[in-house]
Amino acid sequence: MQANGLDERTNLLVEEYSTSGRLDNITQVMSIHTQYLESFLRSQFYMLRMDGPLPLPYRHYIAIMAAARHQCSYLINMHVDEFLKTGGIAEWLNGLEYIPQRLKNLNEINKLLAHRPWLITKEHIQKLVKTGENNWSLPELVHAVVLLAHYHALASFVFGSGINPERDPDTSNGVRLIAVNNFCVCDLANDNNIENASLTSSNFGIADSLSELEALMERMKRLQEDKEDEEASQEEMATRFEMEKKESLLVINGAFDDEIVSTDVSRYIEDPGFGYKDFARRGEDHLPTFRAQDYTWENHGFSLVNRLYSDIGHLLDEKFRMVYNLTYNTMATHEDVDTTTLRRALFNYVHCMYGIRYDDYDYGEVNQLLERSLKVYIKTVTCYPERTTKRMYDSYWRQFKHSEKVHVNLLLMEARMQAELLYALRAITRHLT
Amino acid sequence: MEKMARVTTALGGNALTGRTMFCHLDAPANAISVCRDAAQVVVAGRNIFKIYSIEEEQFVEKLNLRVGRKPSLNFSCADVVWHQMDENLLATAATNGVVVTWNLGKPSRNKQDQLFTEHKRTVNKVCFHPTEVYMLLSGSQDGYMKCFDLRKKDSVSTFSGQSESVRDVQFSIRDYFTFAATFENGNVQLWDIRRPDRYERMFTAHNGPVFCCDWHPEDRGWLATGGRDKMVKVWDMNTTRAKEIYCVQTIASVARVKWRPECKHHIATCSMMVDHNIYVWDVRRPFIPSAMFEEHKDVTTGIVWRHLHDPYFLLSGSKDSTLYQHIFKDASQPIDRANPEGLCYSLYGDLAFAAKESLISSDSNRKPYIGDRRHPIFFKRKLDPTEQFEYISSSSALSVFETDVESGSMDWFVHTAKQYALAGRPLPELCDHNAKVAKGLDRNQVAQTWTMLRIIYSSLSTVSSTNLNHSMGKGSTTLPLMNSFNLKDIPSGLGSESRLDRSKGESRSENILMDSSSTLMNNEDNEETEGSDVPADYLLGDVEADEDDLYMMDHENPHAEEQEYSLPQEAFPLRHEIVDNPSALDHLQDKADSPHVSGNEAETVSLTPVESFSLISISHSLYENRLPSDFFNPIVRDTLLFYAEQGDVQTAVSVLIVLGDRIRREIDEQTQEHWYTSYIDLLQRFQLWNISNEVIKLSTCRAINCLNQASTTLHVNCSNCKRPMSNRGWICDRCRQCASMCAVCHHVVKGLFVWCQGCSHGGHLQHIMKWLETSSHCPAGCGHLCEYT
């Protein structure tokens, strides 16, 4: 079985190499989870290279714009190359002043989507599609939105997994590789024994972390077995949700210095100061919680996206489903563990930070399952991925395998992408009705 | 509202009356359900749970079930159902996964009866048993269905779909023990309520989630399902395998389906997204809804027929916070608005016309098509006497009008397309070849164009063509006149000539614009020599004039242009002379081709270059010592535009391809693309696939180029296990067998595989071809008479 899995992985990598002519580190890291990688590559290939409303260079430029919001120079450089290869106008790479107004108009929605997607309203959509010489058609807009969300989320993954630029001798054709400060340094891609490497031998006491693991499993078990006896009232549930939101506030104190964004990146962004602002701390402008049941991906998002940009819905659907259901029934050293609750907690916690609430979820579970260091990590990776450090990555779940942490990253990435898409698509739906 | 009809129907004594009406709810509705007596309706949503009574003129709020200071999430309903036997009993499915029953008979304000908190995720659907008072069924996002006995505290049995979320559950109306469940992965399962361990049957109904299902109220075997794939399907469950008997394609994902009472084939649907209307379909006529209710401003979330046996009243709730009662008489009927006539041209100019029969007969009385009507073919749809009244209007007739065989013949197009050479040889040869082809088909004008192109662009001599143009310019003046002529009026022999004239005119006028300084004198020359056939030495004289012109200054420009505009009238009578004198053309052409002339030109060449560069500042290296061929690009461009304008897109595209980069930049991308697509379309309609592909390959437009790269994938299923073969086309990963064996040599076919569409046997292309030369039976021995064409 193991051999089979490896075989499958090799096949997939060979296929990817033969179609794209490269094997980037993202692909390599993701290849730990072969099943997922397949649907990831398929959807990415579709949105970048297959028939679609947007011309090819546009797609790569949008990817650059999206990655630039998180100063992800790795993705930027990758797509600068692709942009030029697909016949993009080199001048555009000098910065936003050089691009057509039409692309420039996408800035606003890019900014919101990246940091505070809940602020997107139908007015933003209307502004973009309003007839005029620089207007976007709805299919084009949906394509762009999908690309933006994909690359914001991918930036999270890149920083979360500490993916470094490929060691390529001749990348210096005009585009310098730059090291952003705080850039995560754990170079997974060059670690050939990822699966076998476990972090148990870190500085922290092994016994200590093992007991942590046991406790976590115990809690999961309890949650799975007894569906709580007391019926939590709506108040209680709401309070729990609010608490999670509030707590996510405290998870990171906003005491980060404003990083100096290197000019290589900043030329692709506008209003660099705009960042994630906690949904919970809205105060002045009271935004209603997004009720997941009122606008779900399965019922609404899919139909809209597929209507306007055919087939992408199926690919994304498959990807979301894949990541949500992916499990090896293992946790660190234990086997035969049902990790459903844990995965759901991760997924819903990300959505919680974006103000999306599930009626049928008890947010108390998040508190029980996700330790503080993990919450810090989740919040950083999803909201300010550029601030992720190796220390954060190491400090949670110390006894877990790398592959499991990559799995976590995948979950965070897809949850984030879905959250962004839900907000954007809801705005488009409202515009349509 | 005045126009709204008032409807009264007798239903076993109690009459249902009412009109189209609505009321505002305070919040968006998620689901609605009616009481058995059709007098009350319950509306449930995230923030609403109310009962309205349906009065004659309006809805009246009867009861608000959402009580208590801080309503709990249990009130946030995803679905609601009113028991059809006990009018005091309701059940709701809450978004937090709780199933709640309500007893309206309770004396207290809070009517909440029982709470079942067994589901872990949102409950999507609840359903009462149609004849059993205490049996309630629920389907949830967590993938489980639970059956509750309302007399007990917990569920009686749990059914695990073993797959993803349950979207809908419905008890069969006739089979006491059966219920259907639909799933997010596209499956439908049938369960026996007594056997919770395993479903009785399962089949895949839709691609993507199946949002809803409904059993037919009369026909016990029929189940309608609606899915995210925008389809409504009707399944006949009587056979061992569920058989799809009807399929309706809607425009958006289907959220609810409800059979219309008393109408066997009618079904009401509403959609989940984008489309706010409610449609009532006749499943036998799936292309157009038979009725449509357009009142809602946002997505309709719940539909229900008001009474079990009344087909005229439909209630609906919507996200736009309204509750509507729709009356069938007020429904809009898209059929009335649909255009019942269809009109289409065939390749050969035949015209087909389909219309309502009544319309046709009245038309044919008037005989509008007398002239063209050769062999009218007449089809008529036969009426099925068993079909219902709504079909009467749908009988229609199709007439085909054939045009004159002679005039409509497109043979020349096919021949030209086949014989033209577009690439692979040097330009002069291509031009010569194509000119010959055109000439062979009596298309002298086109032949002439090719010859001109050769002269212009082949490096032999560029200047000679100037002369050619000038001398030919004689005809230029006929341009506007020609436009007033209809091709039909001219005998076909003349037609081509007159067209030729026009082309000359075009190139001429462009010529004027270009080297306008030279035209002034030149025009005068023309006028003087008009009428006479081109004398042999005229050419030379023209050259001289040309040279003179070249020394003239630019300030002559405006005059030249004015001259151009005034020209047409003067030259009015000239056209006939030229038309009547086709020999002039050949004459001219010979001149241009003759070595004598070229020799002559060679001399002039030495004079012209300097001036030409000063006149039009084009830096050029290739034709250092001659007039640059770019010089004529505008002329050629206009020639092409002219041809395209005339409908001869073939010539335009062919020239475009042959000249390639020489002319490409002169014509804007969009126009080129347009020409290419038109030409390719024509070629494909004549089934000239190879040529169309060649054109695609040779085209320089990116949009065209990628045409033959789209959908080039051929998906193959293994002939053994019927699964798709993902890796290689000839070996199946699953059953490890080679799927495509050649029926002749019994080896695996890895390259071109040809197979009979009748018996699906096949093999190597060569082998099959050879086989079928000698035998007409299938090589596999199946006895099928295969055909290879």
In tens digits, chain A (433 residues) has pLDDT values of 445 666 777 777 777 777 766 778 888 888 888 889 989 999 999 999 888 888 889 999 999 999 998 888 889 988 998 899 888 888 888 888 888 888 888 988 998 999 888 889 989 999 888 877 788 888 889 999 999 999 999 999 999 888 776 554 443 333 333 333 333 333 443 333 333 333 333 444 455 666 777 777 777 777 766 554 444 555 666 677 777 766 666 555 444 444 555 666 777 777 777 777 766 655 545 567 788 888 888 888 888 888 888 889 889 999 998 988 888 888 877 888 888 888 999 999 999 888 888 888 888 888 888 888 888 888 888 888 888 888 888 888 888 888 888 999 999 999 999 999 999 999 998 888 7
Chain B residues close to A360, C-beta within 8 Å:
95-97, 120-122, 141
Q: pLDDT by residue (tens digit) across A229-241?
A: 444 555 666 677 7
From the list A291, A303, A314, the residue facing B252 with the nearest CB is A303
Nearest-angstrom CA–CA distance, B730 and B739:
5
For residue B407, what pLDDT band results from cuts at 50, 70 and 90?
A: low
Supply the mean pLDDT for chain B: 73
Contact assignment for A302 to B121 by CB distance below 8 Å: no
The candidate with the shortest Cα–Cα distance to B371, out of B409, B407, B413, is B407
Q: What average pLDDT does chain A have?
A: 78
Cβ distance of B122 and A359 shorter than 8 Å: yes
Q: How far is the C-alpha of A65 from the C-alpha of A47, rounded, in Å?
A: 16
Structure tokens at A363: 């947010």
pLDDT at B694 over 80: yes
Could you give the C-alpha distances from B771 to A155, B755, B758, B759, B784, in angstroms and in order?
A: 60, 13, 17, 16, 14
Residue B541: count of CB within 10 angstroms of its CB: 14
Q: Which helix (H) or strand (E) holds B62?
A: strand B59-64
Is A234 an interface residue toward B (CB < 8 Å)? yes
Instruction: Choose among A231, A235, A359: nearest Cβ to B70.
Output: A235
Chain B residues in contact with A432 by the CB 8 A cut-off are 274
User: Is B120 in Cβ contact with A227 (below 8 Å)?
Assistant: yes
From chain A, pick out residues whose CB is under 8 angstroms from the CB of B155. Answer: none
Contact: B211, A299; criterion CB under 8 Å: yes
Name the amino acid, one letter, at B473: G
Contacts 24+ apart (CB under 8 A), A56-61: A56/A86, A56/A87, A57/A83, A57/A86, A57/A87, A57/A88, A57/A89, A58/A103, A58/A144, A59/A143, A59/A147, A60/A86, A60/A88, A61/A88, A61/A92, A61/A99, A61/A103
pLDDT value of residue A416? 93
Q: How far is B98 from chain A (nearest CA, A)?
A: 9
- The catalytic residue among A72, A184, A186, A352 is A72
% chain B with pLDDT above 70? 66
**CA of A234 to nearest chain B CA: how many angstroms apart?**
4
Q: Cβ B228–A300 below 8 Å, yes or no? A: no
Q: Does B706 or A188 have the greater pLDDT score? A: B706
On whether the CB atoms of residues B148 and B138 are closer than 8 A, the answer is: yes
Separation of alpha carbons A391 and A46, rounded Å: 35
Residues of A in contact with B294 (CB under 8 A): none
pLDDT at position A188 is 40
| Cβ pair B120:A237 closer than 8 A | no
Q: Give the mean pLDDT of B673-693.
A: 87
- What pLDDT is stored for residue B263 in this prediction? 87
Percent helix, strand and coil across chain A, each to the nearest 5: 65, 0, 35
At B359 the pLDDT is 63
Q: How confident is the model at residue B213 (pLDDT cuts 50, 70, 90)?
A: very high
Instruction: Give the pLDDT confidence of B13-48 residue by residue, as tens digits.
Output: 456 778 889 999 888 999 999 998 888 999 998 888
pLDDT surpasses 80 at B459: no
Q: Does the interface predicted TM-score (ipTM) exceed 0.85?
A: no
According to DSSP, the residues that pair with B31 across neighbouring strands are B44
Chain A residues close to B298, C-beta within 8 Å: 433
- A361-365, B48-52, B328-332, B469-473: segment of lowest average pLDDT: B469-473
| CA of B296 vs chain A CAs: smallest distance (Å) | 11
Q: Name the minimum distance, in Å, from the CA of A233 to any CA of chain B.
A: 6
Smallest Cβ–Cβ distance between B273 and the set A227, A233, A429 belongs to: A429
pLDDT of residue B726: 63
d(CA B23, CA A391): 60
Mutate to test the interface with A, among B122, B273, B733 (most CBs of A within 10 A): B273
pLDDT at B396: 67
- For the cut 50, the answer to whether the pLDDT of residue B527 exceeds it is no
Please, are residues A159 and A381 in contact by the beta-carbon 8 Å criterion? yes
For an interface test with A, which of B118, B270, B274, B276 has the most A Cβ atoms less than 10 Å from its Cβ?
B274
B745 pairs with which residues across the strands? none
Could you tell me which chain A residue has the CA closest to the CA of B124? A293
C-alpha B658/C-alpha B668 separation (Å) is 17
**Contact yes or no for A29/A23 (Cβ under 8 A):** no
Q: Where do the H-state alpha helices sit in A226-354?
A: 234-251, 263-266, 302-308, 312-325, 340-353
pLDDT above 50 (res B511)? no
With CA atoms as reference, the chain A residue closest to B208 would be A314
Kindly state whether A299 is in contact with chain B, defined as any CB-CB distance less than 8 angstroms: yes
Which of A426, A418, A390, A379 minimizes the C-alpha distance to A152? A418
Q: What is the pLDDT of residue A234?
A: 57
Name residue A210's amino acid.
L
Full strand arrangement of the beta sheet holding B266-271: B254-259, B266-271, B278-282, B291-293
Candidates A234, A307, A432; nearest CB to B72: A234
| Structure confidence by residue, pLDDT tens digits, B593-617 | 444 433 444 343 333 333 434 344 4
How many beta-carbon pairs under 8 angstroms link A with B?
A: 74
Question: pLDDT digits over A74-133, tens only?
Answer: 899 889 988 998 888 888 888 888 888 888 889 889 989 998 888 899 899 998 888 777
Residue among B71, B121, B276 minimizing CB distance to A360: B121
Annotation says A186 is catalytic: no
Q: How far apart are CA A413 and CA A422, in angstroms?
A: 14
Cβ–Cβ gap A234/B73 under 8 Å: yes
| Whole-number Å distance between alpha carbons of B257 and B267 | 7
Strand partners, B315: B304, B325
Closest chain A CA to residue B72: A234
Cα–Cα distance for residue pair A120/A125, rounded to 1 Å: 8
Cβ distance of A303 and B228 shorter than 8 Å:
yes
More confident residue, B712 or A50: A50
Of A70-79, B15-24, B278-287, B723-732, minimum mean pLDDT range: B723-732
- Chain B residues with CB under 8 Å of A426 CB are none
Pairing of strands B144-149, B266-271: unpaired
The answer to whether residue B541 scores a pLDDT higher than 50 is: no
